[in-house]
């Protein structure tokens, strides 16, 4: 896939570092990635194009929009990912025509003016980098939850090896503040320099404070450092400037004071961290403060409030006096669990897929459910050749559902082979692409493009479906998903698909899913039996088929959060319901809503069921 990331960078920030790390991970997965930005300082394997995205005068914005439109078309871009408000603004207008969606990562709190609430320029999906931003976008800017996603900025842990934290032996301990010295972060540092570090030095003289970061001539930091040092009578705060080897700083300092990406990197190395960010004080990053660190991006992105000077002093003193009380291994595990870049990239791939589906108006993927395809009294086993005409519709239900001379009781779910063939003819002639759940897994991972008119055909585990549906599907060039019940017992007195038949279906390109082991009423059985129905059936099928099984059908359609959790723990990727599930297919793959095809399904009804709007129709009407 072709991905375009757009930024408005004038200096190195966490957003730039994340964009570079994300781009390199996407390239490693086989994507082509381009980055357009005013400046871009972080090394990356992506192709970087310099362009004045951050210039906000109207004339330049018009030029930027035209430039981006041309770039998107000429490079066949599949998704645009913006990382700042200025970038989102021009990307929004560059992507309004066509199928290319805009995804915006929102790395900071937004101004609450009227136009922000009235009109969003952030595109199909807005990615909050922490829970505080997510809540801010929903609560303060009134962005609907289905437009939001929560994905933390990730880091490449292969570049930050966990090692025992053993700073060199020296006369004084070193506390290093690492971070950008401009903007709100610079305001926080000024408080630390003027109020926090001097109070610590009053009681703990055996320490030196280093300031690591690019120095701006207009910054108030340098004069403040000189003034405090003169007042104390010694240079105990030292401005070290920008460092190209920040890892060495993390490993050789006794303590790191930082927030955002700095905190992530230092913790990944096993170094102790006290987070004092742009918005708030968090403290020593430990199990006690982990939740607040996650919610606020280590103190950078919550609603701003005064820095707690006394608590800042107390935390730094404790870390200096009791280094053995801070676990480097726990810090590494915390970062691995929440910020590892390949996991973050997978989450963003799912966001990209949903954004593409939204732009194509394909958030509702029709998943059709067939109980039984059988030859009726007037059917012939001969399989007709594919046709682009509607002649086979004479075998299907009319506008009012009158498809045969009387549907006997118990035959409501029985579809004749001719009727089924008529439906396949409709799908073929109207340009539908059949998918199975392995295809959807690839699409969800942003490894395969979503077709314009997708459809999924699923079949209950009856042997008639093997005999009657599979040949027609092959003739018409459709894939499908056949469910198998692993106890192999009959259903409603009808023979089930055998393991041998399942292997033949798989060999012919069809997916095999689990219909559970014995199809019990899951709300009436013990937890151990639930596990057997879910995980046990998967194990049996995978042994019989010698391949992965990723799709489960909830027995009798019954599902609750506990059962869904068991399905996830068993390793399924998709799970199918009947009357439950989101209209947006991409929001909950373990609660996919199937659309039942009945004997009385009329031509008009079948059109609705495959329209990609059927669940919306049901909701409205």
**Residues 6+ away with beta carbon under 8 Å from 408:** none
CATH number, domain 2-154, options 3.40.50.1820, 3.40.1400.10, 3.90.180.10, 3.40.50.2000: 3.40.50.2000
**Residues 6+ away with beta carbon under 8 Å from 163:** 251, 269, 270
- Work out whether the CA dihedral 326, 331, 332, 334 comes out positive or negative: positive
Give the three-class secondary structure for 373. strand
**Residues 6+ away with beta carbon under 8 Å from 564:** 575, 590, 591
% helix, strand, coil for the chain, step of 5: 45, 15, 40
- Give the integer Cα–Cα distance in Å for 542 and 547: 5
What is the distance in angstroms between the CA of the first residue and the CA of the last residue of the chain?
38
Extract the tokens encoding 244.
Answer: 């190209």
Of 477, 2, 431, 16, give the one whose Cα is nearest residue 214: 16
- Say which CATH architecture domain 361-620 belongs to: Alpha-Beta Barrel (3.20)
CB 215 within 8 A of CB 222: yes
Residue spans in the chain of domains classed CATH 3.40.50.2000: 2-154, 159-339
- Give the integer Cα–Cα distance in Å for 596 and 613: 15
CB 58 within 8 A of CB 90: no
Over the stretch 250-260, which tens digit does the pLDDT of each residue have? 999 999 999 99
**Residues of the chain under the 70 pLDDT cut:** 114-118, 216-217, 376-411, 617-621
173-178 and 255-257 strand pairing = parallel
**Residues 6+ away with beta carbon under 8 Å from 171:** 206
Extract the tokens encoding 161.
Answer: 């090896």
- The pLDDT, as a whole number, for residue 304 is 92
207-212 and 237-241 strand pairing = parallel
- The pLDDT, as a whole number, for residue 558 is 82
Q: What is the CA radius of gyration of the chain?
A: 30
The DSSP letter of residue 462 is B
- Give the integer Cα–Cα distance in Å for 581 and 559: 10
Residue corresponding to tokens 């922000």: 116
Residue spans in the chain of domains classed CATH 3.20.20.370: 361-620
Extract the tokens encoding 71.
Answer: 């770039």
The DSSP letter of residue 466 is I
**Residues 6+ away with beta carbon under 8 Å from 56:** 86, 89
- Say which CATH architecture domain 159-339 belongs to: 3-Layer(aba) Sandwich (3.40)
Buried b (16+ CB within 10 A) or exposed e, 23-34: bbbbbebebbbb
Extract the tokens encoding 552.
Answer: 């489960």
- Work out whether the CA dihedral 93, 96, 99, 104 comes out positive or negative: positive
CB 442 within 8 A of CB 353: no
CB 23 within 8 A of CB 5: yes
- Give the integer Cα–Cα distance in Å for 379 and 395: 10
Following DSSP, what letter does each residue of 225-254 receive, concatenated? HHHHHHHHTS--EEEEE--S-HHHHHHHSS
pTM of the model: 0.82
Extract the tokens encoding 1.
Answer: 């896939």
Buried b (16+ CB within 10 A) or exposed e, 279-315: bbbbbbbbeebbebbbbbbbbbbbeeeebbbeebbeb
**Residues 6+ away with beta carbon under 8 Å from 69:** 94
Of 457, 467, 470, give the one whose Cα is nearest residue 508: 470
Helix/strand/coil (H, E, C) string of 58-93?
A: HHHHHHHHHHHHHHHHHCCCCEEEECCHHHHHHHHH
- Give the integer Cα–Cα distance in Å for 552 and 483: 8
- The pLDDT, as a whole number, for residue 386 is 38
Extract the tokens encoding 73.
Answer: 């078309």
- The pLDDT, as a whole number, for residue 12 is 82
What's the residue count for the chain?
Answer: 621
CB 19 within 8 A of CB 154: no
């Amino acid at each position: 896939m072709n991905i375009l990331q757009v930024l408005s960078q004038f200096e190195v920030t966490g957003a730039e570092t994340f964009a570079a790390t994300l781009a390199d991970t996407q390239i490693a997965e086989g994507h082509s990635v381009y980055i357009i930005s005013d400046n871009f300082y972080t090394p990356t394997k992506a192709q970087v194009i310099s362009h004045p995205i951050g210039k906000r005068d109207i004339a330049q914005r018009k030029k930027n929009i035209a430039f981006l439109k041309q770039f998107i078309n000429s490079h066949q871009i599949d998704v645009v990912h913006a990382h700042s408000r200025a970038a989102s603004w021009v990307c929004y207008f560059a992507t309004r025509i066509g199928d290319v969606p805009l995804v915006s990562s929102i790395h900071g709190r937004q101004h609450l003016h009227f136009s922000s609430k009235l009109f969003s320029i952030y595109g199909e999906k807005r990615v909050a980098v922490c829970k505080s931003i997510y809540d801010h976008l929903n609560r303060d800017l009134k962005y609907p939850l289905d437009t939001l996603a929560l994905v933390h900025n990730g880091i490449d842990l292969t570049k930050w090896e966990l090692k025992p934290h053993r700073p060199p032996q020296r006369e004084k301990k070193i506390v290093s503040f690492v971070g950008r010295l401009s903007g709100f972060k610079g305001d926080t540092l000024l408080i630390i320099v003027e109020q926090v570090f001097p109070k610590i030095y009053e009681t703990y003289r055996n320490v030196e404070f280093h300031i690591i970061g690019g120095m701006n001539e207009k910054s108030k930091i340098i004069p403040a450092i000189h003034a405090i040092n003169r007042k104390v009578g010694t240079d105990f705060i030292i401005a070290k400037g920008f460092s190209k080897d920040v890892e060495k700083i993390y490993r050789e300092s006794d303590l790191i004071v930082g927030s955002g990406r700095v905190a992530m990197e230092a913790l990944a190395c096993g170094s102790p961290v006290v987070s004092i960010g742009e918005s708030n004080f968090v403290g020593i990053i430990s199990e006690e403060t982990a939740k607040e660190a996650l919610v606020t991006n280590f103190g950078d992105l919550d609603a701003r409030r005064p820095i707690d000077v006394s608590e800042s002093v107390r935390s730094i003193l404790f870390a200096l006096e009791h280094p053995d009380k801070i676990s480097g291994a726990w810090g590494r595990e915390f970062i691995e669990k929440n910020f590892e870049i390949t996991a973050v990239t997978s989450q963003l791939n799912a966001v990209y897929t949903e954004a593409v589906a939204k732009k194509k108006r394909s958030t509702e993927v029709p998943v059709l459910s067939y109980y039984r395809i059988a030859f009726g009294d007037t059917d012939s086993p001969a399989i007709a050749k594919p046709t682009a005409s509607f002649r086979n519709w004479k075998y299907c239900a009319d506008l009012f559902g009158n498809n045969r001379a009387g549907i006997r009781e118990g035959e409501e779910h029985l579809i004749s082979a001719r009727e089924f063939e008529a439906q396949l003819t409709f799908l073929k002639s109207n340009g539908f692409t059949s998918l199975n759940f392995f295809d959807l897994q690839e699409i969800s991972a942003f490894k395969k493009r979503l077709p314009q008119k997708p459809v999924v055909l699923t079949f209950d585990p009856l042997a008639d479906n093997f005999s009657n549906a599979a040949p027609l599907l092959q003739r018409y060039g459709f894939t499908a998903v056949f469910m198998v019940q692993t106890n192999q017992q009959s259903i409603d007195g009808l023979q089930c698909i055998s393991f041998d038949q399942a292997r033949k279906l798989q060999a012919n390109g069809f997916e095999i899913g689990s219909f559970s082991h014995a199809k019990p009423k899951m709300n009436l059985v013990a937890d151990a039996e639930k596990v057997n129905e879910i995980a046990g059936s998967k194990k049996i099928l995978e042994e019989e088929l010698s391949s992965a099984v990723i799709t489960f059908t909830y027995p009798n359609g019954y599902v609750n959060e506990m059962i869904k959790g068991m399905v996830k723990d068993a390793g399924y990727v998709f799970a199918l319901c009947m009357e439950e599930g989101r209209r947006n297919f991409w929001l909950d793959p373990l609660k996919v809503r199937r659309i039942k095809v009945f004997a009385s399904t009329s031509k008009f009804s079948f059109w609705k069921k495959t329209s990609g709007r059927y669940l919306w129709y049901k909701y409205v009407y």
